Structures are given as structure tokens and as C-alpha cells.
């Protein structure tokens, strides 16, 4: 398959390239920019006039809900939704049922994903058996089966000694560990940020120290073990500042934030909007502003969708009983563009946290638009506006706090491995 | 989400879910309406026909004696047909969802749901899903709101103090877990109470409680000094010993209301309690039964206030 993409505005965040040029794809690779290579006969042509041609997006947290939660969404539905969101590589957390703690489960997931259209799927294995935080998983075996990192998903480790040993073992094998900092006790039972909204609505709170206490523990253990740790879903200003210091100290840590935390605060929870029930919780405006700044100045490396499709039955409950999570693969791009517009950043800077910087954390060859790189591309109209609605979202999860919002920026084509995987109607 | 889920398009009360965000004119209208119902209890025939033919369902997902009974009396005095459902022992145990339960009862031609639920926001959820002609009255949800209790407390204060504009009010006890306190705070700040205090150890206060317009005190000595109204909150048994408080005895010693501490308040201060009381934990019997106490009148006024709320929401 050879594709000629013409007249598009090429943006490669890694190199800073931003120019109108043609792109030539062959055998799953980008073979040329600008001039066609000799003897290039395209099977397909895409006229990208008015479109941005960017590297395909890399999303560090997409729940495909398989195995175990097929009543919420299916691998096929969410892979398709992700492609429609311009995502060409995704990492899926191990919080399936059963969790991804055995090579067989990982191989099955990889097999299912490979035989389905859509993005490349990179499973994140469970750090401990059943995510219970007690017994280490067979990390070497799981890596062989296809895991790119190890995590506890949203299950905090209670026992600090187990965490220390997990980091020691992972660093022995030079495997990255992804941890969402949350103290198991301080966060227990809470559903919203400990602030004005929890005081008013009488909802059980998750205080900021639930994040910072866990972060302090993790950072001290990284200092001890030198394990490569990626910190997931920061939510607080204090947390961001701790990571800033850890990085300045030269510790091998990276971090990400979920795109909804870039835009929303605990005020959005009122009155009991279960679509704003998310872990970690939306925090104060100060926290949100610190997160926005930290992405711009690079303390936060990547932005992910933290995609968690949830069925209506699980959301249409009193807030504290509702299932946490936000559907997000289709909003990662427009919400990132919105942040960048508001922050006055260039398109290249806007795209870096959802392309090359995310790919570096994932440790795979993705997120770059250059000759020789995989032909994974996202072509979007940066000016097109559209309304987020249950109908406009392809994900089976309609649980978005942005329902009714107008988005600017819409994916027109998603090219994966040199094939047009998604084309907007 | 619509903050005025409770109001009709022309600004009248249709559901009563919380006192947070309700305008003073509506709070006052409820209190004035309740005033007209107080005397009904003294008549031989304690009934008015305002809700004749209407079906009121008391949906109590959490146990209650006093609140459910006073709602039942109020509905019956308004001539409604009242159905009591103690749901904690029926369909919810069979796995039916909250909204399915409500849909089934709606199909039985309900006109009003009086809802008590252990989860904050449950009545909001129901109100968003019921047919437009059905009204929802919150009889206590989680830690969020207990609006009729808050209103009957306002009625009591207005009855004894004539108004709110010159009052110093203290709410003492477990504000963190109290839906009653939240409703009282919203009502008192809306009705213009110039100095509202909360008095409790830090473990029993929400972190940002000041944002609700209250002054925080940690001792009774400063907290109830020169107060006109002292509202004591119930301390749940399960919270008396644990990681929030060491013991009921230590709590009583520091934050219990005793005749001695009453001397700090204004001589004509009134003492209120939403019940049920823990004598010897948050309040001394001599105070509970003493001359400052208006705890039993609160219960009586509760019927009139609930009649006012039910007649207003049904009429709008």
C-alpha cells in the first residue's frame, strides 16, 4: 500500500517541523517528505488541503474493557473510537477482569487487538498478582508476552515494603513501573476533592495528601532503587511541585496527567454530575492552573485520555455509588488543542505531550513524523467545530463531563501502519 | 447541571432537595405558610383538603422514626393518601436500582416522593428522572442536606427570636457528617444571620467549611460565648471512639453542652437539637430539659413546616 498525502500542513513536534509538504507512505513507513521518491506510484491519494498532518496520537491510558467488562464496552468499539480520535498507539492498564497478571491473558489481548482494526495496543502488565499489592508478577515473562510497563492501575499499594521490592525487581530487569500516586488509606471511600464542593455537598473527600504522601514515598523509593518510574494522573499543584523537584534532582521519573484534569475543577461536580466522578478527583482551580502551567513548562511530560467507558447503569446512581471514569479517546485531541490555544502555544508544542513525549514514555517507535518512521498519522481539521453528544461519540461509553461542549479540531483521517484505518464521513 | 432543578420556570418551588441556592423569598414563603398551619394541630379536626386525592410515597432507603412519622402526619393532615415504603428491607436488597424502584412507583400514579437515602445527591438523581408532575422532597440524603429539618429549625428560631438579623448562632458538633448542619448553614446565611459559628474539633469539620460563610471555633469557651442560639448536633455512636474522637467522655468534657457552659451564652439563648439526643454525650440532661431548651417545640413545628413544603411543591 502506497499513499500520497498532498497539500497538508505537516507538523512534527519532535523536530519542530511545521510546513506545507507532501508525505509519501509505503510498506508501513514514511518514505519521503516533500518530493516523491523515484518510482513512487501511489495506490491512494489524500488531499489534505486545510488539514494538519501530524504523527498519530499516543495515548498512555485507554481501557478497552476486555477481558471482563464487555458490558461496558468492547475491544472493537473502543479501538474504533480511539482511531476516530486520531490515536494510533495506546497503552492499556491492567485493570481488566482478571487483571493482566499472566502471560496468557496478555497474549490473548495482543492477539485480539492485532486481529482488529485500530491502533497498536501496548498492554501494561500488573505489577502484583491480581493487583493485590502482595506478590510480584512474572515481569520478565509478561514482558516477553508484550507488556511494555508494569502498574497497579487504580489500586494503590498498601504495603510499602512490597512497593520497594517491586521497584528493585523491575529495575533489575530495567523495566519501567507506572504508578498512580494515591495513599490507600487517605483516599479510602472518598469521591471528590477535599474542598469547597465536598464541604457543600457532603460528599466524602480525597484530600491532596492522598496524592502527595504517596508521591513522597514513591520518590524516596526511586532515589533508593533508581527504578524508572512513570507517575500517572497527577491532580494537585503540590504533587506537580514534588515532581518538579524530583526531576531537578535528576531522578528517573516522568509523569502524565489526564486531559480532563487540564480543564475541569471540583466545581464541575455540582450538582452531583456523576460524569465528573473520576479518580483522582477534579481539584481546585489553583490545582488545575498549576497542571496547565506544568505541561507547558515540561514538568508534566504527557497528556492521556485515561479513557474509561462506563455504562449508563453504573453512572445513573447517587454520586458516591456511581462508577468513576471518563470516556475520552475522542476528546484527547480537541481538548489538548483547546488547552494550547488558551495557553498561547504553537500546534507543535500542543501536540508534543500526546505524540513524541508520550511515545518516549511508552518506549516505542511512535509519535514522530519523519522519513523512516512508522506510517502512523493523524490528519485533522484544526478549525472544524463539533458538539460533544452521546450520538457524536463512537465509544460505547457516553460518560463524558464535556457532553454539550463545543470542540474545535476534528480528526478526518487516521493512518495506522500505512493503511487508512479511519476516515470521517 | 441546573442549580435550580428545584424551581419551576417561573421560579416556584417544585422539588425541595437542598436549601443551598434557594432564594430567601422562598425560604420566607415556606416559613410564612408553615405559620398558617401551626394552629391546625390544636383543632378538633386536624385536617385541610389541600392534597386530597394526591398519592404521597415515603421512600425511606434509610431508617428513620421521627422524620418519617412527621412527614406522614403532615401528609395526612393535608388529606393526602400516604404510602410508607421501607426500602432498605425490600427491593434494593433484591438488586433493583434506585431509578427502577422510582420508575415502578411512578407507574403507581405517585404525585410526590419523600425520599431519605444514605447517599448524598440521591434525591437530586430522582428529581432529574421523574415525570414533570411528580415532586421530590428530600427527607435527608447522606451528609448533604436535610432541608425540612433546616427549615423547621429556622421556623423555631424565628418563633423565639423574631428574626435572623441580629443573631449570633453556634452550631456545635459533628458538622462533617451532618446533613442537618449543612441545611442550617445554607438557610441561616441566606436569611441574613450576621454571625454563624461552627464549634467542633478539626476531625469533625469539613476542610473548607469557612467557604460556606461560617466562623470556625474549636472550643466551647469561645464558640458559644454570647450566642443567642445554640444548635447541638447528634454524635453518631460509631464515631464516639475511633480515629475521629478518642471517647464519648472526652467529647462530652470538651464539646458537650452543660449548665456551666450555658452561662457563656446570652441569658435568653435558646438551645436546639435535631434529635435523637445522646444525653451525656453532646448535651447534658439539665440543659436538654431546661429553660433554654426548645427541642420539643422543634418537633411540633416540624409538622407544620412539612405541611407547608408539601402543599407548596404539590401546588407548583
The HSE-up count of residue A298 (CA atoms within 13 Å, CB side) is 5
User: Do B250 and B165 fall into the same domain?
Assistant: yes
A271–B125 C-beta distance less than 8 A? no
CATH code where residue A315 lies: 3.20.20.140
- Flag whether B90 is in a domain: yes
What is the spatial distance between Cα A397 and Cα A81, in angstroms, rounded to a whole number? Answer: 10
What is the spatial distance between Cα B168 and Cα B229, in angstroms, rounded to a whole number? Answer: 7
User: Do A9 and A80 fall into the same domain?
Assistant: no
- Flag whether A48 is in a domain: yes
The share of chain B scoring above pLDDT 70, in percent, equals 97
- Flag whether B13 is in a domain: no
For range A46-64, the mean pLDDT: 98
User: Do A214 and A92 fall into the same domain?
Assistant: yes
User: Do A30 and A95 fall into the same domain?
Assistant: no
The answer to whether the beta carbons of residues B281 and B256 sit under 8 Å apart is yes
Q: What is the pLDDT of residue B51?
A: 95
User: Do B129 and B175 fall into the same domain?
Assistant: no
User: Do B221 and B168 fall into the same domain?
Assistant: yes
- DSSP-derived secondary structure letter, A233: -
Catalytic positions of A, written as ranges: 306
Q: What is the pLDDT of residue B87?
A: 79
- Flag whether A367 is in a domain: no
Q: Does A320 touch chain B (CB under 8 A)?
A: yes
Q: Tell me which chain B residues have a C-beta less than 8 angstroms from the C-beta of A208.
A: none
Q: Tell me which chain B residues have a C-beta less than 8 angstroms from the C-beta of A202.
A: 120, 142-145, 177, 179, 182
Q: Does A185 touch chain B (CB under 8 A)?
A: no
Q: Is residue A209 pLDDT above 90, yes or no?
A: yes
CA nearest A318: which of B304, B112, B229, B127? B127
φ and ψ at residue A160, rounded to 5 degrees: -65, -30
- Flag whether B11 is in a domain: no
Q: Tell me which chain B residues have a C-beta less than 8 angstroms from the C-beta of A313.
A: 97
- Flag whether A388 is in a domain: no
- Flag whether A33 is in a domain: yes
Q: Is residue A16 pLDDT above 50, yes or no?
A: yes
Q: What is the pLDDT of residue B64?
A: 86
CATH code where residue B285 lies: 3.40.50.1370
Range of the domain at B92: 24-145+300-315
The answer to whether the beta carbons of residues A234 and A300 sit under 8 Å apart is yes
Tell me how many domains chain A contains.
2
Q: Is residue A239 pLDDT above 80, yes or no?
A: yes
The model's pLDDT over B264-316, given as tens digits with 9 standing for 90+, comes to: 999 999 999 999 999 999 999 999 999 999 999 999 999 999 999 999 999 87
Listed residues A362, A397, A415: the one ending a domain: A362
Chain pair A-B, CB pairs under 8 angstroms: 81
Q: Does A189 touch chain B (CB under 8 A)?
A: no
B143–A317 C-beta distance less than 8 A? no
A316–B121 C-beta distance less than 8 A? no
User: Do A45 and A71 fall into the same domain?
Assistant: no
Q: Could you tell me the pLDDT band of residue B91, with boundaries at 50, 70 and 90?
A: low
Residue B111: CB partners within 8 Å, gap ≥ 6? Answer: B51, B54, B55, B56, B80, B133, B134, B135, B314
Listed residues A309, A331, A362: the one ending a domain: A362
User: Do B289 and B153 fall into the same domain?
Assistant: yes
Q: Could you tell me the pLDDT band of residue B92, with boundaries at 50, 70 and 90?
A: low
Strands (DSSP E) contained in A295-376 are: 302-304
User: Do A61 and A41 fall into the same domain?
Assistant: no
The model's pLDDT over A175-197, given as tens digits with 9 standing for 90+, comes to: 999 999 999 999 999 999 999 99
pTM comes to 0.94
**Shortest CA distance from A276: residue in chain B:** B1
Strand duo A253-258 + A229-231: pairing: parallel
- Flag whether B2 is in a domain: no
For range A384-394, the mean pLDDT: 97
User: Do B171 and B269 fall into the same domain?
Assistant: yes
User: Do A65 and A48 fall into the same domain?
Assistant: no
Whether the bond into A271 is cis, omega within 30 of 0: yes
The model's pLDDT over A99-135, given as tens digits with 9 standing for 90+, comes to: 999 999 999 999 999 999 999 999 999 999 999 999 9
User: Do A324 and A247 fall into the same domain?
Assistant: yes
User: Do A17 and A121 fall into the same domain?
Assistant: no
Residue A12: CB partners within 8 Å, gap ≥ 6? Answer: A18, A54, A55, A348, A368, A369, A370
User: Do A243 and A341 fall into the same domain?
Assistant: yes
User: Do B73 and B164 fall into the same domain?
Assistant: no
Range of the domain at A26: 2-53+374-383+407-423
Q: Is residue A24 pLDDT above 50, yes or no?
A: yes
Q: What is the pLDDT of residue B94?
A: 67
CATH code where residue A26 lies: 2.30.40.10
Instruction: Determine which helix (DSSP H) or strand (DSSP E) holds B271, and give its type and residue range.
Output: strand B270-272
- Flag whether A393 is in a domain: no
User: Do B211 and B288 fall into the same domain?
Assistant: yes
What is the predicted ipTM?
0.91
- Flag whether B3 is in a domain: no
Q: Which of A272, A315, A401 to mutate to test the interface with B (most CBs of B within 10 A)?
A: A272
User: Do A17 and A63 fall into the same domain?
Assistant: no
The model's pLDDT over B213-271, given as tens digits with 9 standing for 90+, comes to: 999 999 999 999 999 999 999 998 888 888 999 999 999 999 999 999 999 999 999 99
Average pLDDT over all residues of chain A: 97
User: Do B128 and B202 fall into the same domain?
Assistant: no
Lowest-pLDDT range of A153-157, A196-200, A254-258, A280-284: A153-157
The CA distance from A205 to the nearest CA of chain B, in Å, is 9
- Flag whether A394 is in a domain: no
Tell me how many domains chain B contains.
2
Q: Could you tell me the pLDDT band of residue B1, with boundaries at 50, 70 and 90?
A: very low
User: Between these two residues, B293 and B40, which has the higher pLDDT value?
Assistant: B293
User: Do A249 and A346 fall into the same domain?
Assistant: yes
- Flag whether B12 is in a domain: no
Amino acid at each position: 500500500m502506497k499513499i500520497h498525502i498532498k497539500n497538508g500542513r505537516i507538523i512534527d513536534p519532535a523536530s519542530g517541523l511545521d510546513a506545507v509538504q507532501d508525505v509519501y507512505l509505503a510498506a508501513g513507513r514514511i518514505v519521503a517528505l516533500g518530493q516523491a521518491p523515484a518510482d513512487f506510484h501511489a495506490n491512494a491519494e489524500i488531499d489534505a488541503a486545510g488539514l494538519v498532518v501530524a504523527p498519530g496520537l499516543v495515548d498512555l491510558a485507554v481501557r478497552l474493557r476486555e477481558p471482563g467488562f464487555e458490558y461496558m464496552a468492547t475491544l472493537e468499539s473502543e479501538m474504533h473510537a480511539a482511531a476516530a480520535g486520531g490515536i494510533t498507539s495506546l497503552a492499556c492498564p491492567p485493570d481488566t477482569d482478571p487483571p493482566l497478571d499472566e502471560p496468557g491473558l496478555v497474549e490473548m489481548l495482543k492477539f485480539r487487538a492485532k486481529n482488529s482494526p485500530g491502533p497498536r495496543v501496548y498492554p501494561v502488565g500488573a505489577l502484583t498478582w491480581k493487583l493485590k499489592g502482595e506478590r510480584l508478577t512474572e515481569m520478565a515473562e509478561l514482558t516477553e508476552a508484550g507488556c511494555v510497563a508494569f502498574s497497579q492501575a487504580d489500586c494503590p499499594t498498601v504495603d510499602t515494603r512490597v512497593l520497594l521490592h517491586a521497584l528493585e525487581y523491575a529495575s533489575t530487569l530495567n523495566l519501567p513501573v507506572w504508578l498512580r500516586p494515591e495513599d490507600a488509606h487517605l483516599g479510602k471511600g472518598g469521591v471528590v476533592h477535599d474542598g469547597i464542593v465536598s464541604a457543600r455537598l457532603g460528599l466524602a473527600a480525597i484530600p491532596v495528601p492522598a496524592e502527595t504522601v504517596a508521591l513522597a514515598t514513591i520518590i524516596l523509593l526511586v532515589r533508593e532503587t533508581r527504578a524508572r518510574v512513570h507517575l500517572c494522573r497527577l491532580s494537585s499543584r503540590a504533587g506537580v511541585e514534588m515532581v518538579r523537584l524530583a526531576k531537578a534532582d535528576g531522578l528517573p521519573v516522568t509523569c502524565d496527567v489526564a486531559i480532563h484534569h487540564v480543564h475541569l475543577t471540583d466545581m464541575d461536580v455540582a450538582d452531583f454530575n456523576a460524569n465528573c466522578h473520576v479518580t483522582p478527583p477534579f481539584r481546585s482551580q489553583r490545582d488545575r492552573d498549576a497542571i496547565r502551567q506544568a505541561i507547558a513548562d515540561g514538568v508534566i511530560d504527557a497528556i492521556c485520555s485515561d479513557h474509561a467507558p462506563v455504562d449508563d447503569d453504573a453512572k445513573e446512581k447517587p454520586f458516591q455509588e456511581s462508577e468513576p471514569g471518563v470516556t475520552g479517546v475522542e476528546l484527547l485531541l480537541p481538548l489538548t488543542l483547546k488547552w494550547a490555544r488558551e495557553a498561547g502555544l504553537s500546534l507543535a508544542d500542543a501536540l508534543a505531550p500526546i505524540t513524541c513525549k508520550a511515545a518516549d514514555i511508552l518506549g516505542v517507535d511512535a509519535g514522530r513524523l519523519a522519513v523512516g518512521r512508522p506510517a502512523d498519522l493523524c490528519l485533522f481539521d484544526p478549525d472544524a467545530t463539533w458538539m460533544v453528544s452521546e450520538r457524536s461519540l463512537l465509544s460505547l461509553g457516553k460518560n463524558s463531563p464535556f457532553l454539550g461542549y463545543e470542540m474545535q479540531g476534528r480528526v478526518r483521517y487516521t493512518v495506522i501502519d500505512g493503511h487508512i484505518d479511519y476516515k470521517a464521513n | 447541571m441546573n442549580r435550580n432543578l428545584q424551581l419551576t420556570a417561573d421560579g416556584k418551588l417544585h422539588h425541595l432537595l437542598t436549601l443551598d441556592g434557594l432564594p430567601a423569598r422562598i425560604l420566607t414563603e415556606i416559613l410564612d405558610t408553615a405559620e398558617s398551619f401551626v394552629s391546625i394541630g390544636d383543632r378538633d379536626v386536624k385536617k385541610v383538603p389541600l392534597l386530597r386525592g394526591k398519592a404521597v410515597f415515603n421512600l425511606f432507603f434509610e431508617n428513620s422514626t421521627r422524620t418519617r412519622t412527621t412527614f406522614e402526619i403532615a401528609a395526612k393532615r393535608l388529606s393526602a393518601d400516604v404510602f410508607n415504603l421501607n426500602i432498605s428491607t425490600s427491593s434494593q436488597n433484591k438488586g433493583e436500582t434506585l431509578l427502577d424502584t422510582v420508575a415502578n412507583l411512578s407507574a403507581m400514579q405517585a404525585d410526590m416522593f419523600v425520599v431519605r437515602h444514605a447517599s448524598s445527591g440521591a434525591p437530586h438523581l430522582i428529581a432529574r428522572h421523574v415525570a414533570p408532575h411528580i415532586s421530590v422532597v428530600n427527607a435527608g440524603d447522606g451528609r448533604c442536606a436535610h432541608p425540612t429539618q433546616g427549615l423547621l429549625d429556622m421556623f423555631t428560631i424565628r418563633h423565639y427570636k423574631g428574626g435572623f438579623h441580629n443573631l449570633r448562632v453556634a452550631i456545635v458538633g459533628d458538622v462533617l457528617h451532618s446533613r442537618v448542619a449543612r441545611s442550617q448553614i445554607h438557610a441561616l446565611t441566606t436569611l441574613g444571620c450576621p454571625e454563624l459559628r461552627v464549634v467542633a474539633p478539626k476531625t469533625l469539620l469539613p476542610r473548607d467549611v469557612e467557604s460556606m460563610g461560617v466562623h470556625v471555633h474549636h472550643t466551647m469557651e469561645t464558640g458559644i460565648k454570647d450566642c443567642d442560639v445554640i444548635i447541638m448536633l447528634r454524635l453518631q455512636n460509631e464515631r464516639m471512639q475511633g480515629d475521629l474522637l478518642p471517647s464519648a467522655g472526652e467529647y462530652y468534657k470538651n464539646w458537650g453542652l452543660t449548665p456551666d457552659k450555658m452561662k457563656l451564652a446570652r441569658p435568653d439563648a435558646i438551645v436546639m437539637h435535631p434529635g435523637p439526643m445522646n444525653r451525656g454525650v453532646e448535651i447534658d440532661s439539665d440543659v436538654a430539659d431546661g429553660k433554654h431548651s426548645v427541642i420539643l417545640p422543634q418537633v411540633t413545628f416540624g409538622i407544620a413546616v412539612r405541611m407547608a413544603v408539601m402543599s407548596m411543591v404539590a401546588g407548583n
